[in-house]
A and B are shown apart, each in its own frame.
Chain A
Amino acid sequence: MKMRPILWLFLPAALLLAAFIVLPSFDLFRASVFDPEFSTKHFQRLFERGVYLDVMWRTIRVSLAVAVLCTVIGYPVAFFINLQPRRRQTILLFLILIPMWMSILIRTYAWIVVLGRDGLVNEALAALGFTTEPVQMLFTSGAVLAAMVQILLPIQILTCYAAMTEIDLDLIRAARVLGARPRQALARVFLPLSLDGTLTGLVIIFMLSMGFFITPALLGGRQDRMIANLIEFQVQRLNWSFAAALGVVLLVLTVAMIVLLRAGGRMLARRILKGGL
C-alpha cells in the first residue's frame, strides 16, 4: 500500500486518539450495559429517579453559567489588552497566565481561605461593621460558581485575545472613515469578526465545566454535586457499571450541548451580520 508521505504525519495523533480516547470510550459504553449480563437497568435507574436528573440538569446549568460569565468578563478584558501597546500586552498576558500555572486544587483551597467562616471576606465584613455573625459562603452554589469562573477565566481571555489579534484594526478605521460611529464600528465590524473565537472559548469552558470535580467537591454543599462527583461516588461504592452509565450520559450530554451551542452561535453571528445588535 502506498501512502502520500504527508499522511504519515497524521499517524501519531490517530494512534494516540485510538489508544486513549476511542478504545476507552468503547469500553465505557460496554461497561454501562453489561453487569455482567446485558442490561439497561443502570440507565433506567438514572432516568427514573428524579435525583439523578436533577444533578444532570444542574451540571448543564452551572456549566452554562460559568461559560457565559467567563465570556462576559473575559471579552472586555481581552479587548482592553488588545488596545494596549505591544510591551504592556506581554506583561498583562503574563499576569493572566500566572494563576493558570497553579494547580486547580490549590486555587480551590485558596477559596476556602477566602470564603470560610473565619475567612478574609467574613473578617472584612465584620471589621467594617456590616455583619455580626459570619455569613455562610463556603459550601454554597455561589462559592462553586465564583471559583469555577476564576479558574477558567484565563482560558476565555486568552482565546478572545487570540481572535482579536487576528483582526486588522484598519478595518475599524475604514468603517469610521465611511461614517460609522465608534459603537457602530465595534458592533458591526469588530464584534462579528471576533465572534468565532469567542464562541470557541465559550464552548471550551462549557466543556471543561461539565467535567469539573474538585471545586464542587470542596466548595459546594450536598446540593452542588455535579455529574463528575456522582461518578466518583459510585466508583467508591464499587458500582462501576452505574458509574460507567453516568460517564456515558456525561459524554453524550456534553457533545449534544456543544452542537447546540455551536449552532446557536452561528445563528447569532448571522443575525449580527445582517442587522447589527
Chain B
Amino acid sequence: MKHTKLALGTAALLALAQPAFAQDQVLTIAGSGGVVKEITEKVFLPAFEETTGWKTKFIAAESNILLEVRTMLASGKMLYDAMEVSAANYPIGVKDDLLAPIDYDLLDPDGELPEQAKKEFGVVAAAYSTVLVQRTDKNPEGRKMESWADFWDVETFPGPRSLNPQPQYTLEFALLADGVAREDLYDVLGTEEGLDRAFAKLDEIKPHIPVWWSSGAQSVQLLSDGEVFYSSTYNGRVAKLQESGIPAEIVWNGGALHTSYVGIPKNAPNYEAAHDWIRVRTMRPDLELEYVKQLPYPNFAPGLFDAMPEDVAKTMPTYPANADVQFVANDTFWAENLDEIRERFDEWLLE
C-alpha cells in the first residue's frame, strides 16, 4: 500500500514538474475528467486566461485527488493551485488539513456570493438535491404532498413509498417529518436521544415501504411502474421521468442540498491567482449558464437565474425558491458519524 502511494505520488510529480518550472504564469487546476473536463476547458479556462493573462493547465485527477495532494504536501512541493473538491472529500480535506482557507475579502470583496455558497475551505461549484417526488396522479383528489410530514401521513396519502436504505439523508427526512427545524437537524442527530427519535419515526413508516431503492435509476423505475407513489430521489432524475410522460412532481421542501466545491490545496504556489480562478469558476453567471445547459449542476453565481429561462430555472436545486426550503447536507457530520450510524441502520433494516 505504501509503495503504491509513493509510486503514484512520484508519477504525479514527474508529470507536473516540467511545465511548472518552464513557465511562471501558469495556474494548475486539478479536477474530474470526462464531460466535466471537456466543458471546463471549453467554457471556464479561456475566460480565465482572457481576464487574467495567465495560462492554465487542467489535470484530470482520475484516481484519488486527496491522495495526490497528500503526497505533494509530504514531498514539500505542491503542484496544484486549485482543485475540485467533492462533497465527500471536503470534510476529509478539512480534517486532514489538506486545504487552504478561502480569503473572501480577496475573492468576493463586495459580498455578492450568498452565504450558502461560502465554505471556509471551498466555494460551491455545483449542486444537486435529494428530494421527495410524488406521482401527482396517485394523490388524493385536490391534495398534494408538501413536506416530509406528508410523506409520513399515510392516512391522507395512502399508498406504497420508497426511501434509500442508507442513513444519510434518510434520517434527516425522518426528523423533519417529526417536526425538527431544518437548522437543528444535525444538532439533534448528534445526540443519542435524537438518533433514537429518528429511528422511532422511521419505525412508523417502515410497514409502508415495500421496497428500498438502492440506485437513482431504481427509484425512478419504481415510480414509473407505479410500484410506489412517493419516493426520495435525486432531482436530476425527475426530468427524465417527466419526459417519459409520468406525472411526477418534486417537493423541494425538506430536500437535502449537496454541494461540491472548488478549493485551494494547502501550500499552493499561486494562492492569489487561484482566487481569480475561483471567481471565474463560481461567480460568472454567463459562463455558468453555458455549463448548466450541458450539465444540470448549477452553483450560486450571482444573477445566474436572471439569465436563465424561468421554466429551466425552476427545476434547478439552487433556484432561490428551491434552495431556501432545503437543508444543506452536512458532510462533516456524516464523515465523522457514518460508520457507527450505518451499522445501526443496516440492522434496523433487517429487523
Contacts and interface: CB of A to CB of B under 8 A. Distances in A.
A52 B349 CA distance: 11
Interface stretch (B86-94, B172-180, B207-215, B285-293): B207-215
Interface in B192-224: 206, 209-212
Contacts of A55: 350
A230 B350 CA distance: 9
Contacts of A221: 210-211
A221 B342 CA distance: 20
B160 interface: yes
A237 B342 contact: yes
A128 B351 CA distance: 38
Nearest to B228: A117
Interface residues of A, number: 19
B349 A138 contact: no
B184 to A, nearest CB: 29
Contact of A222 (B160, B209, B226, B227): B209
Interface of A is mostly: loop
Contacts of B211: 138-139, 221-222
Contact of A51 (B206, B226, B350): B350
A138 B350 contact: no
Given A51-B347, A225-B350, A136 B210 contact: yes
A117 B225 contact: yes
B153 interface: no
A41 to B, nearest CB: 13
Contacts, number: 39
Interface string A105-127: 00000001000111000000000
Interface string A208-240: 000000000000011001000010010001000
A27 interface: no
Nearest to B225: A116
A54 B350 contact: yes
Nearest to B348: A51
A49 interface: yes
A12 B206 CA distance: 52
B346 interface: yes
Nearest to A119: B225
Contacts of B342: 237
B212 to A, nearest CB: 6
Nearest to A51: B350
Given A117-B227, A139-B211, A139-B227, 18 more contacts: A49-B347, A51-B347, A51-B350, A51-B351, A55-B350, A116-B226, A116-B227, A117-B225, A118-B225, A136-B210, A138-B210, A140-B210, A221-B210, A221-B211, A222-B206, A222-B209, A222-B211, A237-B342
22 contacts: A51-B350, A55-B350, A112-B225, A116-B225, A116-B226, A117-B160, A117-B225, A136-B160, A136-B210, A138-B227, A139-B211, A139-B227, A221-B211, A222-B206, A222-B211, A222-B212, A222-B349, A222-B350, A225-B350, A233-B346, A237-B342, A237-B346
5 nearest A-B pairs in the assembled complex, by CB-CB distance: A139-B210, A51-B350, A139-B211, A118-B226, A117-B226
